[in-house]
Structure 1
Amino acid sequence: MQASTPDYATTTASTEGQPTVHDVFEPRTGTWQYVVADPATLKAVIIDPVLDFDLATQVISTTTADALLSLVKEKGYHVSMILETHAHADHLTAASYLRYRLGTGSDGFKPLVVAGQRIREMQEAIGEKYGVPGEEYINVFDKLFGDDETFQIGQLTAMAIHLPGHTPDHLGYKIGDNVFCGDSLFNADLGTARCDFPGGSARDLFKSGRKLLSMPDHFKIWTGHDYPSAERGSPVPYMTIRDHRAQNKHLHDGITEDEFVTMREERDANLPAPRLFHQSLQVNIRTGQLPKPNEDGSRMLHLPLKLSGEKW
């Protein structure tokens, strides 16, 4: 089944020093992708792009990523980086595909695929768990940000912020008065992300949430996912710090660290694994590059089996 082409909305820079933000929702995995641009220079970054994967057929396609390419072309942007917030466990990243498609110009430039420096730990742990050859994930990122490292998007200065909790390698990206927080905070009626993935920590997530909510009230927090209820209807890409502090069901003002940790751990204990958990982790530590083909040309991923009842 082919993915539908996603729509996008645009938040135009209102003052100097602020970016133009295009939010693009991918409904099959509930993922928000972002194209963030400097309106003065048209330099841009793409955050957390999605590669389509059909679990029933095992077919990978690029409809969603191609829509991002169309947006970039329509706006005349020059994409300098593709930013990952973490090693996602619920969708495959389109970073390598986009790097290839955006790097075919005559100048030979290819956008950098970037994550946080702690993703090395995730790559090693996931690579060992699934038997991924080291040469397929070691040094595949073009750059790894340190905590609070700044970088340029045209004339805009951005910062990589360490936000552990959902995963230990998790980053947010502060660009102007906006923070792209990945899977840290969700819309207020959903609260926060799960913390039961390898290296996750509810206590760390509470501290990361407080770090975010200590920023100025007018800052916008752009989330990595949304799963809207029937009552709410449409997915929501951002809320202000002020609104999160008043309305976020898990982290509103007055919630203590111990209350949050107890709630989060109890909820996580009953959550099923994401549908694309095994596939996502193995592909994403490779920056979206596919496994090398075997002798008959097939590209293989490993899936763990569980036995029910007595051992054979």
Structure 2
Amino acid sequence: MSESVAVPASTAPAAPGTAATATTIVEPFFDPVTATVTYVVHSGRGSVCAIVDPVLDYDPKSGRTTTESADRVIAFVREYALSVQWLLETHAHADHLSAAPYLKQQLGGKIAIGEHIRHVQGVFRAVFNVGATLAADGSEFDHLFKDEERFEVGPLAARAMHVPGHTPADLAYQIGDAVFVGDTLFMPDVGSARCDFPGGDAHTLYRSVRKLLEMPGETRLFMCHDYPPESRGPSFETTVNAQRCGNIHLNDGVTEDAFVQMRTTRDSTLAMPNLILPSIQVNIRAGRMPEPEDNGVRYLKIPLNAL
């Protein structure tokens, strides 16, 4: 079952261009099945909000989808009378299916991702042999962000930052004083994400992380996942300073060459994520399922000996 964990409103200075009275409030919903955190980002009751990286529950044993995780988000949005402006994906996830279309149907908002999703679509269109139904031009999404593109979440100034390395299309979103880093970073005691997916690159990830860690030290960073050691429970908020001082893979004392050697060696030992095959073919379509076949049933493909 997903759980919501309240994060206090920030007392840090607002980002440039943010209304002086607006505070970035972050409400996380942690899904222990996929270790994914969905965020609702807003500036108070009755305000506009964005939803970041929403999760659709999927049972790979039965092929059934449910909306328990997304319904918790919906309940929160309605309880606080929020208006959904954006449904933001940091990348095409390989570990969970996106609930963005369901949330859009229930709450409205635009589904957005980085413009480099076209590259990821092109790679996996061939893997899944879906050229006839996937244009690979990003048109499945309502908006494709460019690097450093500015936007707003109500009174909160926001920008999209291209941070490739885990995949070629990863984005981080800065909304007010909060940054949602996707899979560029994990909590300091967990480290970094793998770089061995198609188009991933450890050198590139290192440089993307340094871009994030050049931000002011008090900047709040919110992780997309947490895989905690046994000594603690799930945690997903940290700061630039904490990462620079303590990230076990990417602190200030780690050189690019040392990181690449560690990451490459580590990635060679990792199994594929349990949900990569169903997740990718859905998420490159902005979370939309394949069309039903003539019997009314939708089917996901499992390519044999292709990855």
Q: TM-score range by the shorter chain?
A: over 0.9
Q: Which of these residues, 3, 6, 18, is aligned with residue 6 of structure 1?
A: 3
- 1:105 corresponds in structure 2 to none
- Kept in 1: contact 2:127–2:303 (CA 8 A): no
SS at structure 2 position matched to 1:182? coil
Structure 2: tracts of 5 or more residues without a match: 14-20
How far, CA to CA, are the matches of 2:81 and 2:218 in structure 1? 29
| Whole-angstrom CA distance in 2 between matches of 1:142 and 1:30 | 27
CA shift in 2, pair 1:306/1:129, >3 Å: closer
Does the C-alpha gap of structure 1 residues 9 and 113 become closer, same or farther in structure 2, counting only changes over 3 Å? same
Show CA shifts across 1:145-187 (max 9, x none).
1000000111111000000000000000011221100001001
Spell out, residue by residue over 1:161-218, the C-alpha distance to the aligned partner (whole angstroms, 9 max, x if none).
0000000000000112211000010011110000001100000000011111111110
TM superposition shift of 1:267: 0.4
Shift of residue 252 of structure 1? 0.7
Give distance in 1, aligned partners of 2:176 and 2:186.
20
Q: 8 Å contact 1:221–1:239 — kept in the other structure? A: yes
Tell me the equivalent position of 2:298. Answer: 299
Who is 1:199 aligned against?
199
In the alignment, what sits opposite 1:156?
A: 156
Contact 2:221/2:237 (CA < 8 Å) preserved in 1? yes
List, as ranges, runs of 4+ consecutive aligned residues in structure 1 with deviation greater than 2 Å: 5-8, 13-18, 38-41, 132-138, 304-307
Aligned position for 1:72: 77
Asked if the contact 1:18/1:175 (under 8 Å) is kept, the reply is: no
Secondary structure class of the residue paired with 1:9:
coil
TM-score normalized with structure 2 length: 0.93
Contact preservation (8 Å) 1:8, 1:23: yes
What is the Cα-based RMSD across aligned positions, in Å?
1.5
The answer to whether the 8 A contact 1:180-1:224 is kept is yes
Cα distance, 1:271–1:180 mapped onto 2, change above 3 Å: same
Whether contact under 8 Å (2:57, 2:65) holds in the other structure is yes
Equivalent residue, structure 1, for 2:187: 187
Cα displacement string for residues 32-79 of structure 1 (whole angstroms, at most 9, x for unaligned residues): 110000238610000000000001111111100011000101111000
2:16 corresponding residue in structure 1:
none
**Residue type of the alignment partner of 1:12:** A
Contact 1:127 1:134 in 2 (8 A): no
Partner of 2:125: 127
- Using the alignment, how far apart are the partners of 1:180 and 1:262 within structure 2? 26
The structural deviation recorded for 1:133 is 4.5
Give the aligned length.
Answer: 296
Quick check: 1:39 aligned with 2:49? no
Give me the whole-angstrom Cα distance separating, in 2, the residues matched to 1:37 and 1:135: 36
Distance in 1 separating the partners of 2:104 and 2:150 = 22
Structure 1 position 294, deviation (Å):
0.8
Alpha-carbon separation, structure 2, partners of 1:30 and 1:83: 18
The 5 A counterparts of 1:139-154 are 139-154=139-154
1:80 deviates by: 0.4
Partner in structure 1 of residue 256 of structure 2: 257
The match for 2:54 among 49, 65, 88 is 49
**Structure 2 match to 1:106:** none
Contact 1:149 1:161 in 2 (8 A): yes
TM-score (norm 1): 0.91
Q: What's the counterpart of residue 112 of structure 1?
A: 110
Which letter maps to 1:225?
H
Check whether the contact 2:46–2:81 (CA below 8 A) recurs between aligned residues.
no
> Which position in structure 1 is the counterpart of 2:238?
239
Contact conserved, 2:45 with 2:80, CA < 8 A, in 1? no
Contact 2:2/2:30 (CA < 8 Å) preserved in 1?
no
> 2:29, 2:37 within 8 Å by CA — same for their partners in 1?
yes
Q: Deviations over 1:207-249 (max 9, x none)?
A: 01111111111001101100112112x1111111111111100
**Percentage identity across paired residues of the two chains:** 43
SS at match of 1:291: coil
Deviation at 1:280, TM superposition (A): 0.3
Kindly state the Cα deviation for residue 260 of structure 1 after the two structures are TM-superposed: 0.4
Amino acid at match of 1:26: D
Q: Which runs of 5+ in 1 are unaligned?
A: 103-109, 308-312
Corresponding residue for residue 168 of structure 1: 168
Query: What amino acid maps onto 2:238 in structure 1?
Result: M
Shift of residue 258, structure 1, vs aligned partner: 0.3
8 Å contact 1:92–1:284 — kept in the other structure? yes
Assess, with a 3 A threshold, how the Cα gap between structure 1 residues 10 and 73 changes in structure 2: closer, same or farther.
farther
